[in-house]
Amino acid sequence: MQKIRDSALEAIGELVPAGPPQSQAEGKGLLLSSRTNGGRSLPEYFLVYFLLVDLLEFPHLGQWEKSAWTVPVRYRGRLYGVEHRKMGLGIFAPNLDPKANMSTRPNEEQEADSREIATLILKAIKVAEPYFSWRAEQAAATAAFNVLNKSQWLFDRYEFFRNRRTALIDEAKAGREEKHITKTKLSDGSVMTEGFYPAYSLLIEAEWNAHAAIDAFFSWTEHAFIHLAILQGRLRTGEEVSRIAEADWKSKFKLALDLDDASTKKHYDSLLDLRFQIRNFMAHGAFGKRGEAFQFHSGAGAVPVLLTSQQGHRYSFTAKPGFEETDALAGIEQFFVHLWSGPLGAARPYIFSSLPTILSFASDGTYARAMVSETEMKDLVSDLTHKFDNAGNMDW
């Protein structure tokens, strides 16, 4: 790390910590600073912070209104601030007029300096890349992690396809008697008659939407089960979350729900079978809902040959019945009732809040206390939402 630090210092060149104010004007200059155009080319704020503050140990100023942090620097002896404000990261040029009481636009020299400062910072960040990788690995082993929560977005996707299927079926039923007849006179004088039934096309589209809804449901579960496990204190570090995120659906289900419960086990078996069939049918190109991929020529006629998941017997003539869309979606809705009517019902307000799950809360008992009831969880969600809003506005 010392070698990386030395290389980063060499790359950053003439950019150094500002040190104490060198005049009375500098003492208030940064408070009256203005954003430079040159600073707009800086990378993500956290890379700049980790470079200057963590790796190179430049002193920084603490939080103040609408500002998360400021690193006072000097470039060729001139004072600037690298600052993360509400409107984003930037390089800010101070107003050094002793009589000033407001900021002014940066002059040409300050704009030129800011472009050169941004270039130096970008160069040093590239050199320091191994440090960032090490820093990320160290962080992953701790509870200082938030896990982004996209449950509501994924659930909205499921509901969209489910509701679209219902609307198409209703439309097909309403127009089931409708048919369009076209007659075309051929060159030999005969007439060809063609019929088109709009309801048939609507039912095909409804089937597509059903398949999309089922696939969207499993996407939601893959995500939501991880958050449910965190809320129950079963995942506490970034490494643990990473491992389960890469695991299969079965592992996520078992971590989030209790298979010792007979009703839960029944839903698990039903959904596992559906997942296998829908993935074969939609994702793995197995052609049929039961896994039919071939037809065998025999004295009995064309016999469907099925692909199986058994390594010892890859082919079969027999299998469970293919999934039926209406029953599959009904089973999914029944699973939701089971999920939220049991002990995990208290987690529902958090799952659909869009708040990230905070791993340190899984360790310090915050989530355990909130999981006692839905009311307790709603209170936690309300409090955290307020804090996240304040942080987003940098209202410290």
pLDDT along the chain (396 residues), means of 10: 94 94 84 91 94 95 88 95 92 88 89 96 96 89 88 98 97 85 83 80 94 95 97 94 94 96 96 83 57 64 62 52 82 97 96 95 95 96 94 80
Residues 54 and 176 in one domain: no
Name residues whose C-beta falls within 8 Å of residue 105's C-beta, 6 or more positions apart in sequence.
Answer: 34
Residues 118 and 256 in one domain: no
Residue 131 lies in a domain: yes
Q: What is the pLDDT of residue 340?
A: 97
Q: What is the pLDDT of residue 369?
A: 97
Residues 173 and 268 in one domain: yes
Mark which of 111, 140, 169 sits at the end of a domain.
140
Residue 185 lies in a domain: no
Dist. CA 376–CA 183, nearest whole Å: 68
Residues 106 and 242 in one domain: no
Residue 268 lies in a domain: yes
Residue 322 lies in a domain: yes
Q: Are 122 and 45 in contact (CB under 8 A)?
A: no
Residues 345 and 330 in one domain: yes
CA–CA–CA angle 104, 109, 115 (5° rounding): 100
Residues 133 and 166 in one domain: no
Q: Which residues form the domain of 68?
A: 2-140
Residues 119 and 245 in one domain: no
Residues 200 and 347 in one domain: yes
Residue 264 lies in a domain: yes
Q: Are 214 and 331 in contact (CB under 8 A)?
A: no
Q: What is the pLDDT of residue 260?
A: 95
Residues 198 and 293 in one domain: yes
Q: What is the pLDDT of residue 391?
A: 86
Residue 210 lies in a domain: yes
Residue 101 lies in a domain: yes
Residues 124 and 212 in one domain: no
How many domains does the chain divide into?
Answer: 2
Task: Convert 195-205 to b/e letters by CB count within 10 Å (16 or more is b).
Answer: eeeebeebbeb
Residues 253 and 199 in one domain: yes
Q: What is the pLDDT of residue 310?
A: 52
Residues 242 and 366 in one domain: yes
Q: What is the pLDDT of residue 102?
A: 83
Residue at token pair 């939609």 = 282
Q: What is the pLDDT of residue 9?
A: 94
Mark which of 140, 170, 200 sits at the end of a domain.
140
Name residues whose C-beta falls within 8 Å of residue 355's C-beta, 6 or more positions apart in sequence.
Answer: 149, 381, 384, 385, 388
Q: What is the pLDDT of residue 138?
A: 87
CA–CA–CA angle 227, 233, 239 (5° rounding): 70
Dist. CA 340–CA 359, nearest whole Å: 22
Alpha helices in the chain (DSSP H): 2-12, 24-29, 45-49, 108-127, 129-140, 151-174, 198-231, 238-246, 249-256, 262-282, 325-341, 348-351, 359-364, 366-370, 374-392
